């Protein structure tokens, strides 16, 4: 009888937990970022709490204000400028001021004969098809963007609501984070050593994922955008943000943006600009990952590049933009969990 009662209660616990998760599902992005930001800024909050006389409430409020000043407001300004640059670029493409097919013709005309022959083998030198493909792509892009313009107000309202929920949760996670962590740790049905190892690595994994990926991507995007601005390339902020997003994915990186631009500069006669961009991209942008990532992450929690690549692309496919964080985080926790399991099995005495 006792066993039946325990099984029924376990089923009830699982059902209620799934139901609660279903209720929170519309705001999973806000909850996710509240947890991530709380983990990252927890050391700062503890330092403020030890120095301020107002207690945990004042320290948590001060930390939220710092997050607003350091993260939210700069992102808002960058987003506003980015939208303005993107709309200007799209208008110039539609008006014909920017003709990407003509740019492609210039690049092909400047290629050496051996490279042109190689491209011709793969039927990549048919400029008519390139031009038609670009025109079709731009037309589809315009058709896709036009309906989205009708929902800008709704999306803005949803974003403001999500941001408010994130900041609201962030305050309580900063204030009560240690208490919540202890309660969750007590409730998890694992051995003490397993819980200690798992929860001890969770914060490190979150910081490694965010600091090692997002901060490196921001650095590479900022450096790339600065180079584009110095060379007089239009919409430098837009290309910088695009390089930052691509930098989140290893083996792809910002080179997908600055390499074609460098080739175009060389093909159009801007030799010193093209050579300077190549040297800058290789020696500065390319080395940022090798210099900053070990400093920000450390070697213990660094994921292999192929794991980051697959988990990031898979995370984007499943979770959208939030997948940049969720995918590598799940992969890191997967590896940590199996590491703990392997260590536990090897430490257990043979039967």
Confidence of residue 118 (pLDDT cuts 50, 70, 90): low
297: number of Cβ within 10 Å: 21
Task: Please say whether the beta carbons of 99 and 264 come within 8 A.
Answer: no
Whether 326 contacts 314, CB under 8 Å? no
Over the chain, what is the mean pLDDT? 76
Provide the pLDDT for residue 104.
63
Among the ranges 71-80, 134-143, 204-213, which has the highest mean pLDDT value? 71-80
DSSP state of 189: -
**Are 55 and 211 in contact, with CB atoms under 8 Å apart?**
no
Residues 6+ apart with CB under 8 A from 242: 221, 257
pLDDT of 335 higher than 50: yes
pLDDT at residue 147, as a whole number:
47
pLDDT above 70 covers a percentage of the chain that reads 73
What's the pLDDT score for residue 149?
42
Residue 286 has pLDDT above 60, yes or no: yes
CA distances 214 to 116, 218, 342, Å, are: 38, 6, 30
Task: Output the pTM of the full model.
Answer: 0.69
CB 285 within 8 A of CB 224: yes
- 175-198 mean pLDDT: 79
Please enumerate in sequence order all residues whose Cβ is within 8 A of that of 154, keeping only pairs 6 or more positions apart, or say none. Answer: none
| C-alpha span between 229 and 281 (Å, rounded) | 14
Q: What is the pLDDT of residue 184?
A: 80
C-alpha to C-alpha distance for 267 and 269, rounded to whole angstroms? 6
Mean pLDDT over residues 192-202, rounded? 73
41/172 Cα distance (integer angstroms): 13
Say which range, 18-22, 116-120, 190-194, 339-343, has the weakest mean pLDDT.
116-120
Q: With 50 as the cut, is the pLDDT of residue 154 above it?
A: no
d(CA 339, CA 180): 25
- In angstroms, the CA 133 to CA 300 distance is 46
């Amino acid at each position: 009888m006792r066993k039946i009662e325990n099984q029924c209660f376990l089923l009830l616990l699982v059902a209620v937990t799934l139901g609660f998760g279903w209720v929170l599902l519309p705001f999973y992005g806000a909850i996710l970022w509240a947890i991530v930001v709380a983990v990252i800024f927890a050391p700062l909050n503890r330092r403020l709490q030890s120095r301020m006389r107002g207690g945990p409430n004042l320290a948590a409020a001060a930390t939220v204000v710092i997050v607003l000043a350091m993260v939210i407001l700069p992102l808002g300004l960058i987003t506003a400028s980015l939208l303005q640059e993107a709309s200007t670029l799209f208008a110039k493409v539609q008006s014909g001021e920017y003709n990407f097919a003509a740019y492609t013709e210039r690049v092909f005309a400047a290629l050496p004969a051996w490279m042109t022959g190689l491209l011709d083998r793969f039927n990549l030198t048919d400029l008519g098809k390139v031009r038609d493909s670009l025109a079709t792509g731009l037309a589809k892009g315009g058709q896709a963007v036009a309906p989205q313009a009708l929902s800008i107000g709704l999306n803005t309202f949803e974003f403001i609501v999500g941001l408010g929920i994130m900041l609201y949760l962030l305050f309580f996670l900063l204030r009560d984070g240690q208490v919540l962590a202890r309660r969750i740790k007590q409730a998890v049905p694992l051995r003490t050593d397993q819980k200690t190892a798992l929860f001890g690595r969770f914060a490190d994994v979150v910081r490694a994922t965010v600091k090692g990926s997002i901060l490196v991507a921001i650095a590479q995007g900022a450096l790339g955008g600065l180079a584009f601005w110095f060379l007089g390339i239009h919409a430098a902020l837009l290309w910088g943000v695009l390089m930052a997003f691509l930098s989140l994915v290893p083996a792809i990186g910002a080179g997908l943006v600055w390499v074609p631009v460098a080739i175009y500069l060389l093909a159009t006669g801007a030799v010193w600009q093209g050579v300077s961009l190549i040297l800058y991209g290789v020696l500065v942008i390319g080395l940022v990952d090798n210099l900053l990532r070990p400093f920000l992450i450390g070697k213990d929690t660094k994921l292999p590049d192929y794991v980051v690549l697959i988990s990031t692309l898979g995370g984007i496919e499943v979770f959208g933009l939030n997948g940049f964080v969720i995918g590598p985080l799940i992969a890191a926790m997967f590896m940590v969990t199996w590491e703990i399991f392997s260590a536990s099995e090897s430490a257990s005495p043979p039967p």
